[in-house]
Amino acid sequence: MEKDIIRVVGGKELKGSVEISQAKNSVLKLMAASLLADDEVFIEKPPFIYDVNLMIELLKSLGATISTEGNGLKIIPQVNNFEADYELVSKMRASILVLGPLVAKYGRAKVALPGGCNIGHRKIDLHLEGLKALGASVDYESGYIVAKADRLKGSYIHLPIPSVGATENLLMAACLAEGKTVIENAAREPEIVDLANFLNKMGARINGAGSSRIEIEGVKKLKGTSHLPIPDRIEAGTFIAAALITGSELLIKNVVPEHLAYVLKKLEEAGARLEVEKNSIRVHRTERLRGIDVATFPYPGFPTDLQPLVMSVLCFAEGISVITENIFDNRFLHADELVRMGAKIEINGKHAIIHGVSKLYGVPIRAMDLRGGASLVIAALGAEGETIVYDAYHIFRGYENFIEKLKVIGANVEREVS
Ligand code: UD1
């Protein structure tokens, strides 16, 4: 297997500004949703990252024609194959999101059971139950899910948990169903609102996205559209963490601060000095932060995707912090690596107890998943000496120009692939 490492020499102050890309977690869903359109869809400024490339491959394998034009992605969504095969799907969990659009528009879909990040057991039962409620038949056939329907029928769906993926799959499917669908206890993430706005531009009739009750009046057809996805709140949070760990002043541009409202509040509780403007956040230089307690919850709570990043920040804070991971079972893989750098962290079930230390040290460590991997690089920026992060490819699934962006603000980082 090829070697993919990031070398970080810590201790450098960061400066200047960084431009955040559009959100991976929005773009992947918009790409899946484009399958619902009858004609061309244009997605402006998608991040050109590994997961987006995988989604391009997946849509192409279904028959879509995709090309980059300027700084956007043109998708001509004609489909002549209804099977999303294991090789692609197993590499990216978001692949499951082609299921709803395919069955809604073409009446059939065969999608391999998904893979994705190593962050615990990630079920899709709610996606499937919801599709059944919309009238689809859903069967398992040796590692594949096969869904069929003549035309989906609007239904009342009460999600037992506000799953982001299930809300998205069902929202997309319901757009072409006959009659009205209500999704109760829907996820309220900004990416859901972005998806609903995109679908409405295509001619869908969705109300209430961003609240826990979404109503969808089914339509017969959806047309193409052009859309600029929302900025990536997780990438923004990653660079805020980098500034805090290195005690730097940094301007984070292309952000919707409201999407990070709760995160900013928690960081301020830890002593961060943050200045919010319309589309940017300025992180001011601070002395050592204080320990705080953080618990992940569905939006508008603290995002699970920023949990590894805040852990890195809190490793350097004064006093004790407790992080509670409520969304995923196995999302502390980065903690052992931080411990190798000198952090003091005890894991107890879904809690991580962090005793702040004044220093971390550069050592060889391994990225285990996307956000956890990024949290190690960010921790390394504040560590003494050189850190080598192995299996860095995880990080490039979700961060566009990560190394280049860090370098521009003064970090001493290099990627080596051999
Ligand atoms: C989740 C995150 C999302 C993040 C993404 C990538 C939440 C609520 N969701 O979205 O913010 O960007 O990971 O890291 O924070 N579940 C079921 N059955 C299902 C679907 C989900 O039991 O059919 C459970 C999951 O196991 C999990 C919870 O619901 O415990 C939330 O999952 P879900 O929101 O669907 O995950 P993603 O869509 O991957």
Same domain, 163 and 199: yes
Give the closest residue (by CA) to ligand 1 atom 6.
Answer: 305
CB-defined site of ligand 1, < 6 Å: 25, 122-127, 161, 163-166, 189, 298, 303-305, 327-328
Q: Give the per-residue pLDDT at 246.
A: 97
Same domain, 159 and 72: yes
- DSSP for 215-250, please give it: EEE--S-----EE-PPB-HHHHHHHHHHHHHTT--E
> What sign does the dihedral 241-246-252-258 (CA atoms) show?
positive
Same domain, 246 and 157: no
Distance between CA atoms of residues 220 and 350, nearest Å = 45
Give the closest residue (by CA) to ligand 1 atom 7.
Answer: 298
Active site residue 117: yes
Task: Tell me how crowded residue 94 is: count the other CB atoms within 10 A of its CB.
Answer: 23
Same domain, 299 and 385: yes
Residues near 153 by Cβ (< 8 Å), separated by ≥ 6? 134, 135, 177, 178, 179
Written as six digits, the tokens of 199 are 């679908």
Could you tell me which of 211, 224, 223, 151 has the C-alpha nearest to residue 183?
211
Q: Give the per-residue pLDDT at 119.
A: 53
Assigned domain for 125 exists: yes
Q: Give the per-residue pLDDT at 142.
A: 83
Same domain, 239 and 210: no
Distance between CA atoms of residues 223 and 36, nearest Å = 8
Q: Give the per-residue pLDDT at 118.
A: 59
The domain tally of the chain equals 2
Written as six digits, the tokens of 271 are 């002593």
Give the closest residue (by CA) to ligand 1 atom 1.
Answer: 164
User: Rounded to 5 degrees, what angle do the CA atoms 390, 394, 398 make?
Assistant: 140
Strand ranges across the sheet with 205-207: 156-158, 180-184, 213-217, 205-207
Block mean pLDDT (10 aa), the chain, length 418? 92 97 98 98 97 96 96 96 90 92 97 68 88 96 92 97 97 98 98 98 98 98 98 98 98 98 98 97 95 98 98 98 94 96 97 97 96 98 98 96 98 96
Give the closest residue (by CA) to ligand 1 atom 10.
Answer: 164
Strand ranges across the sheet with 250-253: 17-19, 250-253, 280-284, 273-276
Atom of ligand 1 nearest to the CA of 298: 8
* C-alpha 356 – ligand 1 centre gap (Å): 30
Same domain, 215 and 240: no
Q: Give the pairing of strands 83-84 and 108-112.
A: parallel
Assigned domain for 168 exists: yes
Assigned domain for 80 exists: yes
Site to probe by mutation for ligand 1, drawn from 164, 334, 350, 371 as the one with most ligand atoms within 8 Å of Cβ, is: 164
* C-alpha 187 – ligand 1 centre gap (Å): 9
Give the gyration radius of the chain's Cα atoms: 21
Same domain, 74 and 201: yes
Point out the domain boundary residue: 197, 219, 241.
219
Same domain, 186 and 246: no
Atom of ligand 1 nearest to the CA of 124: 23
Same domain, 100 and 155: yes
Point out the domain boundary residue: 191, 219, 247.
219
Point out the domain boundary residue: 195, 219, 243.
219
Same domain, 14 and 31: no
Assigned domain for 226 exists: no
Alpha-carbon separation of residue 245 from 47, 60, 317, 333, 380 (angstroms): 25, 41, 9, 20, 9
Q: Give the per-residue pLDDT at 122.
A: 72
* C-alpha 361 – ligand 1 centre gap (Å): 34
Same domain, 273 and 166: no
Assigned domain for 225 exists: no
Assigned domain for 224 exists: no
Q: Give the per-residue pLDDT at 2.
A: 82
Give the closest residue (by CA) to ligand 1 atom 9.
Answer: 164
Assigned domain for 77 exists: yes
* C-alpha 366 – ligand 1 centre gap (Å): 24
- DSSP for 122-153, please give it: ---HHHHHHHHHTT-EEEEETTEEEEE-SS-B
Q: Is 0.85 topped by the overall pTM? A: yes
The interaxial angle of helices 24-33 and 99-106, nearest 10 deg, is 20
Q: Give the per-residue pLDDT at 229.
A: 98
Q: Are 163 and 96 in contact (CB under 8 A)?
A: no
Same domain, 215 and 237: no
Dihedral (Cα; 69, 70, 73, 79), 10-degree rounding:
-10
Assigned domain for 266 exists: yes
The domain spanning residue 333 has which CATH number?
A: 3.65.10.10
Catalytic residue among 117, 206, 281, 289: 117
Site to probe by mutation for ligand 1, drawn from 25, 123, 127, 163 as the one with most ligand atoms within 8 Å of Cβ, is: 163
* C-alpha 267 – ligand 1 centre gap (Å): 24
Give the closest residue (by CA) to ligand 1 atom 4.
Answer: 305
- Provide the domain limits for residue 365: 4-20+231-417
Distance between CA atoms of residues 195 and 172, nearest Å = 9
